[in-house]
């Protein structure tokens, strides 16, 4: 096997606000490619016919949801000092794409996508929902939440209940949700709201925190 | 509605649309000025989807020209797709600008880009969504001045009822002059403003011209109905190309051409007789190589785009094309940039150029022979010997590329079924060459469109093929161009009829366009959204016949509906060229011999004031100087 050409791996924590909340995961990847090129970082490109910078986004964020905790790994072909990277990125980012933090992680770390486990969301309602606590209690009391999903020619039943870690009503009448995200199980806030019959209540959803396997392991120890 | 209210409504409805990212702005490099602190406000509209409009270079150039002025702001607006339109109408949400979300009605001027005729109903729809009467005569000075420009406006008549004033020709300079004019006459009546606008060279104000018709429906006369407007409106040109635009807006969502274009040359010296652009964009002006190179650097730094496209009507004719490509290779070869050089001639050198450019993303080559028999090529004045096509094919396939894409047109004047067989034979011969090199991996993709005669071209006199002729030719192509390695694409005949009557229509078509829009026509360029029966109904209600516009040979002396629009190419020259075509006579590239098309006499002064090398037309000395030389000669 040839030597790994990557010399440094940066992990960028970023937020999606304003117009950015209407961009898909593919769009975000493209936006980042261009931000990184404008910032003139020594990107490592993939080999082959359609050469692209080597980037990894942790997980997709459903359209319309804002976030302060998205994760992106970037492979570089040479090492650079970390101090001014965040500022360099901020200087060339479009409105609503906000770099919160840049850290270095080992080049050979596992792919980011495989490490995401769950996420914390906050749902705020334009007009408070009086029976919100009752709806939460009812949802959590259900032994299973079955959803039929159309997959090409067959339908499968999926139980959403095990994907819910926690749902509670916060002090300001908002909904706090901790649900599974990632390749081992993924639950969209919209699906939860639908089960609680809340989709017609005008609301905003914000992702506060992504939980990686590493963090879970830390907690257990 | 206030911008905050508009934003609030958007927040509620956007997730119900197919692609909310179209309607929010916020792109990197977009220019958001302080609304209250800026004196003059211009809305730039592209009446098609965001996904298409964002790739339009012209729009970007005007955006920059206006926003460079400290007291002027320019903001963008595109056509909402049908899902968004329905939501906007249901919510009472007016058409708004992407930058500051102000209603379009609150701007001083609305400038609509009309590059092709299929957008006319969308333009009407934009006016309506903005809460404005669609007819010019119904809008007083409380509404923004509505102007339009772009290639379709070289025959503005079908939309003359709706647009207050048209920019004829190139917009870079005139757009700022117009804005200044609107600024200076603020508070005055619409009539006063339009009088002033008509005084700007290159501006056409339809209401100051009357059109009369003969009983047979042809135009009898087009005459100014007031003092101080020109009999014919001469198009506007810029003497040299302004520095290339580099601060492209970087879309947050994927768009059709998600890359940065650099115009390397404007105009074309080839003189293909079917080509509208080739006639209306004269004279040929090239951008110097160093300017292109500098622009590439600036674009990469300011946008991060990974692909740059070098635009012109005919790249192979750009004088320094080999130097340019070598220099790009040397300077940017390692930068991870993909470059594209479209519109190449069918010749061996083209394959070399693209290899050198390192156009790595390309899986094949695209060429446009347009016709396949010698007779047809002479007739349209686009001559390429068949052997040259085959040799180019050998080079391309030999270089390892698997696909050659050809563009042909059927329906050229005087075309017979043998000429269509010519297309079939040529495509098969090219595929055979491919098979020799690559076996079954070789592909020939064939795009066959149908010729539509355009105003201001040598073919403006000819009828377009009847529906039956086109169907017969298409049937033959579909029957013969099939099987492994051959892929045929064609366009439908109804949309072709539609493009035809809008291209060569007169002012009476205004009622047809309006009625078609009232019947629900928008996005006519989208095949599944083109409702031909509604257009026919609109024609019937107006007492007009589409065949009159599409399938009639015009007499040599017939006055065209666009006769008062002067693109600086003589009618005499066009007629002569048409007559030559009927005899199979061709004209060579006019870089090698000036055929006196009319550009030089019309722009004598401009030419004499620009550098010899700035235009491909021969240099002209000022008249005074010419007289002086003549006198000297006489004295001798």
Q: Is residue A2 part of a domain?
A: no
**Residues of A whose CB is below 8 A from B28:** 34-35, 38, 92-94
**Chain A, nearest residue to B253 by Cα:** A27
* CB–CB contact B361 A49 (8 Å): yes
Mean pLDDT of B285-296: 96
- Please give the interface size between A and B, counted as residue pairs whose CB atoms are below 8 Å apart: 73
Mean pLDDT of B142-160: 98
Q: What is the structure's pLDDT at B633?
A: 60
Euclidean distance between CA atoms B20 and B11, whole angstroms: 10
State the CATH number of the domain containing residue A86: 3.30.70.580
CA-nearest of B158, B5, B27 to A30 is B27
Interchain contact A149–B (C-beta under 8 A): no
Burial class (CB in 10 A: 0-12, 13-18, 19+), B415: buried
Residues 6+ apart with CB under 8 A from A194: none
| Facing residue for A94 by CB, picked from B15, B250, B360 | B250
Do residue A143 and residue A106 come from a single domain?
no
User: How does the average pLDDT of chain B come out, rounded?
Assistant: 94
Do residue A16 and residue A107 come from a single domain?
yes
Task: List strand residue ranges (DSSP E) for B385-483, in order.
Answer: 403-410, 443-450
H and E: helices and strands count for chain B: 23, 19
Interchain contact A36–B (C-beta under 8 A): yes
Do residue A69 and residue A138 come from a single domain?
no
CA-nearest of B12, B383, B1, B558 to A203 is B12
Q: Is residue A31 part of a domain?
A: yes
Residues 6+ apart with CB under 8 A from B470: B410, B411, B450, B493, B496
**Chain B, nearest residue to A21 by Cα:** B21
Do residue A133 and residue A105 come from a single domain?
no
Could you tell me which residue, B633 or A198, shows the higher pLDDT? A198
* CB–CB contact B302 A38 (8 Å): yes
The two tokens of residue A194 are 């639908």
**How confident is residue A1, by pLDDT bands cut at 50, 70 and 90?**
very low
Cβ neighbours, 10 Å, residue A144: 11
Mean pLDDT of A86-114: 95
Chain B: give the shortest CA distance to residue A34, in Å.
4
**What is the domain range of residue A120?**
115-220
* CB–CB contact B27 A94 (8 Å): yes
* CB–CB contact A38 B304 (8 Å): yes
Interchain contact B360–A (C-beta under 8 A): yes
**Chain B, nearest residue to A17 by Cα:** B26
Mean pLDDT of B343-367: 76
User: How does the average pLDDT of chain A come out, rounded?
Assistant: 92
Cβ neighbours, 10 Å, residue A3: 5
* CB–CB contact B253 A24 (8 Å): yes
Q: What is the structure's pLDDT at A51?
A: 77
Chain B: give the shortest CA distance to residue A102, in Å.
20
Task: List strand residue ranges (DSSP E) for B7-67, in order.
Answer: 40-46
**Chain B, nearest residue to A31 by Cα:** B252
Q: Is residue A177 part of a domain?
A: yes
* Percent over 90 (pLDDT), chain A: 80
**Residues of A whose CB is below 8 A from B303:** 34, 38
Residues 6+ apart with CB under 8 A from B531: B519, B520, B521
* CB–CB contact A26 B254 (8 Å): yes
pLDDT (tens digit per residue) in B390-444: 999 998 898 888 999 999 999 999 999 999 999 999 999 999 999 999 999 999 9
| Facing residue for B24 by CB, picked from A19, A38, A93 | A19
* Percent over 70 (pLDDT), chain B: 97
Preceding omega of B294 cis (within 30 degrees of 0): no
Residue B285 has pLDDT above 50, yes or no: yes
Q: Give one DSSP letter per residue of B164-181, joined into a string.
A: SEEE-B--TTHHHHHHHH
Q: Is residue A203 part of a domain?
A: yes
pLDDT (tens digit per residue) in B214-231: 999 999 999 999 998 999
Residue B363 has pLDDT above 70, yes or no: no
User: pTM, whole model, 2 decimals?
Assistant: 0.94
Interchain contact B300–A (C-beta under 8 A): yes
* CB–CB contact B360 A92 (8 Å): no
Q: Which residues does residue B450 pair with via DSSP β-bridges, in sequence order?
A: B410
Do residue A100 and residue A177 come from a single domain?
no
Q: Domains plus CATH for chain B? A: 3-234 (3.40.50.280), 243-360 (3.30.750.210), 603-636 (no CATH)
**Residues of B whose CB is below 8 A from A26:** 254
Residue A218 has pLDDT above 70, yes or no: no
Q: Is residue A1 part of a domain?
A: no
Interchain contact A38–B (C-beta under 8 A): yes
Q: Give one DSSP letter per residue of A125-168, joined into a string.
A: ESS--TTHHHHHHHHHH-S--EEEEEETTEEEEEE-GGGEEEEE
Do residue A16 and residue A95 come from a single domain?
yes
Mean pLDDT of B318-337: 86
CA-nearest of A5, A184, A29 to A97 is A29
Mean pLDDT of A162-179: 96
The residue from A59, A92, A113 where one domain ends is: A113
* CB–CB contact B360 A49 (8 Å): yes
**Residues of A whose CB is below 8 A from B297:** none
Q: What is the structure's pLDDT at A131?
A: 93
Q: What is the structure's pLDDT at B24?
A: 97
Q: Is residue A194 part of a domain?
A: yes
Q: What is the structure's pLDDT at B623?
A: 66
Q: Are B53 and B276 in contact (CB under 8 A)?
A: no
Do residue A66 and residue A159 come from a single domain?
no
Q: Is B460 helix (H, G, I), strand (E, B) or coil?
A: coil
* CB–CB contact A23 B27 (8 Å): no
**Residues of A whose CB is below 8 A from B254:** 26-27, 30
Do residue A80 and residue A22 come from a single domain?
yes
Residue B166 has pLDDT above 60, yes or no: yes
The residue from A79, A113, A147 where one domain ends is: A113
Residue A91 has pLDDT above 90, yes or no: yes
The residue from A69, A90, A113 where one domain ends is: A113
**Residues of B whose CB is below 8 A from A33:** 304, 306
Euclidean distance between CA atoms B45 and B58, whole angstroms: 11
State the CATH number of the domain containing residue A163: 3.30.70
* CB–CB contact A64 B20 (8 Å): yes
| Facing residue for B252 by CB, picked from A23, A43, A45 | A23
Euclidean distance between CA atoms B137 and B205, whole angstroms: 12
Q: What is the structure's pLDDT at B492?
A: 84
Chain A: give the shortest CA distance to residue B567, in Å.
41
Q: Are B80 and B50 in contact (CB under 8 A)?
A: no
* CB–CB contact B361 A50 (8 Å): yes
Could you tell me which residue, A65 or B525, shows the higher pLDDT? A65
Q: What is the structure's pLDDT at B100?
A: 98
Q: Is residue A3 part of a domain?
A: no
Do residue A108 and residue A145 come from a single domain?
no
pLDDT (tens digit per residue) in B547-556: 999 999 999 9
Residue A221 has pLDDT above 70, yes or no: no
Do residue A139 and residue A96 come from a single domain?
no
Residue A13 has pLDDT above 90, yes or no: yes
For an interface test with B, the pick among A27, A38, A125, A190 (most B C-beta atoms closer than 10 Å) comes out as A38
Chain B: give the shortest CA distance to residue A45, in Å.
8
The two tokens of residue A89 are 């990125």
ipTM value? 0.93
Euclidean distance between CA atoms A119 and A212, whole angstroms: 9
Residues 6+ apart with CB under 8 A from B45: B76, B77, B78, B104, B110, B111, B112, B113, B123, B126
**Chain B, nearest residue to A126 by Cα:** B12
Mean pLDDT of A74-94: 96
* Percent over 90 (pLDDT), chain B: 85
Could you tell me which residue, B79 or A157, shows the higher pLDDT? B79
Do residue A172 and residue A157 come from a single domain?
yes
Considering its fold, how many domains does chain A have in total? 2
* CB–CB contact A94 B12 (8 Å): no
Cβ neighbours, 10 Å, residue B476: 16
Q: Are B406 and B367 in contact (CB under 8 A)?
A: yes
Do residue A152 and residue A201 come from a single domain?
yes
Q: What angle do CA B166, B172, B174 make, to 5 degrees?
A: 50
């Amino acid at each position: 096997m040839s030597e790994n050409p990557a010399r440094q791996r940066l992990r960028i924590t970023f937020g999606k606000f304003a117009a950015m909340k209407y961009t898909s995961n593919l769009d975000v990847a493209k936006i980042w490619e261009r931000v990184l090129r404008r910032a003139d970082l020594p990107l490592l490109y993939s080999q082959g016919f359609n050469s692209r910078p080597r980037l990894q986004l942790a997980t997709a964020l459903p359209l319309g949801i804002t976030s302060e905790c998205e994760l992106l790994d970037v492979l570089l072909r040479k090492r650079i000092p970390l101090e001014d990277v965040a500022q360099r990125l901020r200087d060339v980012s479009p409105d609503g794409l906000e770099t919160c933090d840049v850290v270095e992680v080992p080049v050979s770390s596992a792919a980011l996508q495989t490490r995401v486990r769950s996420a914390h969301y906050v749902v705020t309602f334009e007009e408070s929902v009086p029976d919100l606590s009752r709806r939460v209690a009812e949802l959590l009391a259900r032994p299973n939440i079955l959803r039929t999903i159309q997959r090409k020619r067959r339908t499968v039943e999926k139980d959403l209940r095990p994907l819910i870690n926690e749902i509670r009503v916060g002090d300001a009448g908002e909904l706090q949700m901790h649900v599974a995200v990632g390749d081992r199980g993924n639950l969209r806030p919209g699906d939860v709201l639908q089960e609680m019959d809340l989709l017609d209540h005008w609301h905003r959803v914000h992702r506060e925190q992504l939980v990686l396997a590493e963090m879970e392991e830390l907690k257990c120890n | 509605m206030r911008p905050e209210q508009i934003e609030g409504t958007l927040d509620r409805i956007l997730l119900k649309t197919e692609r909310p990212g179209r309607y929010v702005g916020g792109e990197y490099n977009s220019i958001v000025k302080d609304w209250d602190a800026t004196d003059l406000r211009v809305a730039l509209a592209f009446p098609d989807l965001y996904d298409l409009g964002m790739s339009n270079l012209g729009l970007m150039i005007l955006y920059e020209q206006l926003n460079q002025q400290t007291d002027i702001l320019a903001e963008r607006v595109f056509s909402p797709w049908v899902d968004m339109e329905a939501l906007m109408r249901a919510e009472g949400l007016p058409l708004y600008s992407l930058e500051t979300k102000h209603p379009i009605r609150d701007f001083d001027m609305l400038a609509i880009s009309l590059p092709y005729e299929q957008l006319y109903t969308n333009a009407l729809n934009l006016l309506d969504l903005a809460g404005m009467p669609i007819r010019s005569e119904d809008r007083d000075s409380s509404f923004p001045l509505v102007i339009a420009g772009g290639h379709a406006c070289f025959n503005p008549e079908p939309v003359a009822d709706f647009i207050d004033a048209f920019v004829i020709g190139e917009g870079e300079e005139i757009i700022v002059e117009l804005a200044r004019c609107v600024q200076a006459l603020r508070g005055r009546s619409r009539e006063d403003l339009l009088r002033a606008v008509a005084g700007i060279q290159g501006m056409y104000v339809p209401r100051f011209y009357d059109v009369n018709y003969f009983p047979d429906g042809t135009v009898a006369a087009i005459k100014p109905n007031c003092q101080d407007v020109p009999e014919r409106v001469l198009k506007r040109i810029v003497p040299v190309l302004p520095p290339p635009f580099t601060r492209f807006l970087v879309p947050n969502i994927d768009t059709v051409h998600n890359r940065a274009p650099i115009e390397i040359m404007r105009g074309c010296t080839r003189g293909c007789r079917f080509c509208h652009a080739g006639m209306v964009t004269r004279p040929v002006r090239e951008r110097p190589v160093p300017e292109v190179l500098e622009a590439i650097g600036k674009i990469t730094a300011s946008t991060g785009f990974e692909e740059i496209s070098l635009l012109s009507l005919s790249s192979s004719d750009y004088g320094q094309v080999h130097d340019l490509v070598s220099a790009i290779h040397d300077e940017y070869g390692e930068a991870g940039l993909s470059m594209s050089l479209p519109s190449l001639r069918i010749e061996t050198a083209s394959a070399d150029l693209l290899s050198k450019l390192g156009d790595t993303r390309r899986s094949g080559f695209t060429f446009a022979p347009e016709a396949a028999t010698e007779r047809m090529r002479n007739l349209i004045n686009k001559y390429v010997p068949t052997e040259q096509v085959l040799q180019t094919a050998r080079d391309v396939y030999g270089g390892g590329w698997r696909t050659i894409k050809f563009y042909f047109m059927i329906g050229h004047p005087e075309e017979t079924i043998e000429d269509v067989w010519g297309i079939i034979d040529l495509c098969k011969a090219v595929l055979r060459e491919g098979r020799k090199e690559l076996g079954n991996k070789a592909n020939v993709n064939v795009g066959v469109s149908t010729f539509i005669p355009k105003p201001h071209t040598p073919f403006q006199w000819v009828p377009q093929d009847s529906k039956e002729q086109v169907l017969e030719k298409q049937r033959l192509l579909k029957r013969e161009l099939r099987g492994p390695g051959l892929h045929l694409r064609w366009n439908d005949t109804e949309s072709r009829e539609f493009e035809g009557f809008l291209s060569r229509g007169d002012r009476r078509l205004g009622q047809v366009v309006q009625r078609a829009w009232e019947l629900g026509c928008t996005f006519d360029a989208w095949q599944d959204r083109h409702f031909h029966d509604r257009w026919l109904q609109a024609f019937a209600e107006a007492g007009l016949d589409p065949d009159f516009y599409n399938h009639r040979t015009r007499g040599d002396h017939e006055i065209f509906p666009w006769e008062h629009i002067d693109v600086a190419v003589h009618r005499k020259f066009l007629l002569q060229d048409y007559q030559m075509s009927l005899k199979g006579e061709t004209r060579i590239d006019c870089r090698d011999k000036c055929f006196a098309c009319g550009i030089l006499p019309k722009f004598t002064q401009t030419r004499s004031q620009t550098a010899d090398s700035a235009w491909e037309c021969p240099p002209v000395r000022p008249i005074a100087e010419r007289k002086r030389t003549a006198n000297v000669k006489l004295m001798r």
